[in-house]
Structure 1
Amino acid sequence: MTRQKTYLVISALGEDHPGIVNQLSKAVLEHDCNIEDSRMAVLGGEFAAMLLVEGKWNTLAKIENALPELERQLGMIIVSKRTGQRTTEGNLLPYAIDVVSMDHPGIVNNLAGFFAERNINIEDMATSTYAAAHTGTPMFSVHMTIGIPADVHIAALREEFMDYCDGLNLDAVLEPLKS
C-alpha cells in the first residue's frame, strides 16, 4: 500500500535580496520536508517564489507554524495552503507554445482566452519583455505548457491557433513538449 503524499504550497513575495532561497530551502530541510517543485523569479525589485513542499502531515504543520517567524526574518509576505497530489482528467498530451511579438497590452489575455474557450488547461507560463536587437523595439515573449485532451484533433487545433495568432500579429509555435 502506497502512502498518499501530502503537500504544502508556499508562496513568498518581498523585496529582493541575497539569501532568500537559502533561508526558504533551509526552513523546509530543517522540518524534514522536501521541495518537489518550485518557481522563483525577480519581478521588478521584488522576489517571488512558489514552492511545492512534500512531507508528513505533522512536519508540514511544523513548517506552517514556523512561517510567521520566517516571514518576519525575510521581510516578505508568505502564504501557504495544503494540497494533495495532482489529479489529471483523462489523457492529456503535453504541448509547448512559444509566442513572440512587439509588446502591447492584451497578449496574455488573448492567448489565455483562446485556450479557455477550448477547455485546454495552461499548466505553466513564463513571459518576458526585451528590446529587439538593432532597433530597440519593445518585444514580448511567452512560453507556456498546455495539456491538450487526447480526443482533440491536433492538426486542426494547430491550424486554428496559428490563424488566430496571425490575426493578432503574433509569431507562434505549437509543438509536442520535448522532455
Structure 2
Amino acid sequence: MPAINNYLVLSALGTDRPGIVDRLTKLLLDYDLNILDSRMTVLGGEFAILMMVRGNWNTLAKLENALPELRKSLGLTIICERTEERQPSADQLPYMVEVVALDHPGIVHHLASFFSQREINIEDMVTGSYAAPHTGTPMFSVQMSIGVPANLHIATLRDEFMDFCDSMNLDAVLEPMKR
C-alpha cells in the first residue's frame, strides 16, 4: 500500500455562491484525499479557501492533472503546491495576540513589522472590521498566533509590545497559547 504522507496546499478563489464547499470537498473525497487543515471565508462577493490535504502521491498527481477541468467546472481560480508536514519547533513558544482599535490604515503592517523585527513568526492571523455597539464607530480587530523564539525574554517582549500598542492606541493582549 503506497504511503499517504504526501501533502498538497490548495487555494481557491472565485465569485461566492452556494455549493462551492460541497462540490470542492466532494471532489477531494472522490480523489480519496483527507483535509488536514483549512480556512474559508467570503470577502466582499468573493469566496476564498485555503486547505492542506493529505493523500497518496499518485492521487495528488491525478488531482494536479485535473486542475484545468476543475477550474472550469467550479468557476474558481485554483492553485496547488506540494508541501511537507510541518514539524513542531522546540525552539519556539506558541503565543496568541489579540488587538482591538479604532479602524485606520496600517494596523496589520505595523504589527507585522513589530514581530518581524524580533524574528517572531506570524503563523495564523484573522482580521475584521465592524461597527462598535451603540456608537457605530469603525473598529478593527486582529487575532494572531505567533511563534516566539525560546531565547527571547518574554517579560521584555511583553513590555515592548505593550509600549508599541500604547504608542499606536491599540488595545492588545499577548499571552501563551493554551492548547
TM range (shorter): over 0.9
Give, in whole Å, the separation in 2 of the partners of 1:113 and 1:5.
Answer: 35
Q: Report the CA distance between 1:24 and its aligned residue.
A: 1.1
Give, in whole Å, the separation in 2 of the partners of 1:150 and 1:166.
Answer: 25
- What amino acid is the match of 2:127? T
Task: Show the 5 A alignment for 1:35-46.
Answer: 35-46=35-46
Identity %: 62
What is the TM-score of this pair, normalised by structure 2?
0.95
CA RMSD of aligned residues (A): 1.2
User: Which residue pairs with 2:48 in the alignment?
Assistant: 48
- How many equivalent pairs are there? 177
- What amino acid is the match of 2:35? I
What is the TM-score of this pair, normalised by structure 1?
0.95
Unaligned 5+ segments in structure 1 are none
Give, in whole Å, the separation in 1 of the partners of 2:121 and 2:6.
Answer: 23
Q: Which runs of 4+ in 1 moved over 2 A?
A: 87-90
Give, in whole Å, the separation in 2 of the partners of 1:63 and 1:125.
Answer: 28
Q: Report the CA distance between 1:33 and its aligned residue.
A: 1.1
Give, in whole Å, the separation in 2 of the partners of 1:78 and 1:166.
Answer: 41
- What amino acid is the match of 1:59? T
User: Which residue pairs with 1:97 in the alignment?
Assistant: 97
| Conserved 8 A contact 2:42-2:48 | yes
User: Which residue pairs with 1:12 in the alignment?
Assistant: 12
Give, in whole Å, the separation in 2 of the partners of 1:120 and 1:96.
Answer: 12
Give, in whole Å, the separation in 2 of the partners of 1:134 and 1:123.
Answer: 34
Unaligned 5+ segments in structure 2 are none
The answer as to 2:26 corresponding to 1:26 is yes
- What amino acid is the match of 1:107? I
